[in-house]
């Protein structure tokens, strides 16, 4: 699912919190391995210094990482559920105004699917850079995802 319009509609439908934040999907590149999303400047998302709250920044980055996962693995939903396993974020510079989060998968889709095909529960990292309007990195995040194989139905 590398089409931006389809990915945006799918994510905003499946993830109500992304709609709550007002996330805008702005780019899909590298065959779906890279996705960029934007958080407009909105007073209800501000912190005590007038920029985006840390929770809003985390939510934006996690949404970007999930969009990469859906872009690359939506066709696998009949056999596995994508789940975030853990995440860490480092806030580097004060963010003010609108921000963007660009997420990238650290491995190839084929490597992840080979593990799933072998009966394993693959884990993979999606790295996210959150940038300010001037291009400076305001935060860096790493989200570890898994594709949990669906359990066979009880018979």
pLDDT range class, residue 154, cuts 50, 70, 90: very low
> What pLDDT, on the 0 to 100 scale, is given for residue 155?
42
119: left (phi > 0), else alpha (psi -120 to 50), else beta? left
Residues 49-75 as b/e (b if ≥16 CB within 10 A, e otherwise) read eebbeeebbbbbbbbbbbbbbbbbbbe
Question: Could you give the CA distance from residue 150 to residue 135 in angstroms, rounded to a whole number?
Answer: 41
State the fold for domain 4-149: Thiol Ester Dehydrase; Chain A (3.10.129)
- Mean confidence (pLDDT) of the chain: 94
Q: Do the beta carbons of residue 28 and residue 7 sit within 8 Å?
A: yes
Contact 62, 39 (CB under 8 A): no
Q: pLDDT per residue over 100-112, tens digit each?
A: 999 999 899 999 9
Instruction: Read off the pTM.
Output: 0.93
Q: What pLDDT, on the 0 to 100 scale, is given for residue 77? A: 94
Measured distance CA(128)–CA(61) in Å, rounded: 6
The model's pLDDT over 60-117, given as tens digits with 9 standing for 90+, comes to 999 999 999 999 999 999 999 999 999 999 999 999 999 999 999 989 999 999 999 9
pLDDT in tens, 9-46: 999 999 999 999 999 999 999 999 999 999 999 999 99
- Per-residue model confidence (pLDDT) at position 18: 95
């Amino acid at each position: 699912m590398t089409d931006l319009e389809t990915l945006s509609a799918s994510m905003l439908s499946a993830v109500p919190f992304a709609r709550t934040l007002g996330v805008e999907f702005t780019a899909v590149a590298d065959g779906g391995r890279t996705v960029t999303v934007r958080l407009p400047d909105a007073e209800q998302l501000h912190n005590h210094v007038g920029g985006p709250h840390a929770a809003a920044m985390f939510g934006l980055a996690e949404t970007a990482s999930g969009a990469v996962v859906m872009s690359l693995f939506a066709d696998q939903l009949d056999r596995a559920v994508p789940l975030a396993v853990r995440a860490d974020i480092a806030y580097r510079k004060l963010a003010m105004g609108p921000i963007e989060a660009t997420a990238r998968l650290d491995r190839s889709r084929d490597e992840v699917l080979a593990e799933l095909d072998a009966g394993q529960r693959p884990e993979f990292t999606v790295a996210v850079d959150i940038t300010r309007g001037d291009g400076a990195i305001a935060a860096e995040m790493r989200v570890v995802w898994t594709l949990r194989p669906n359990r066979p139905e009880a018979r």
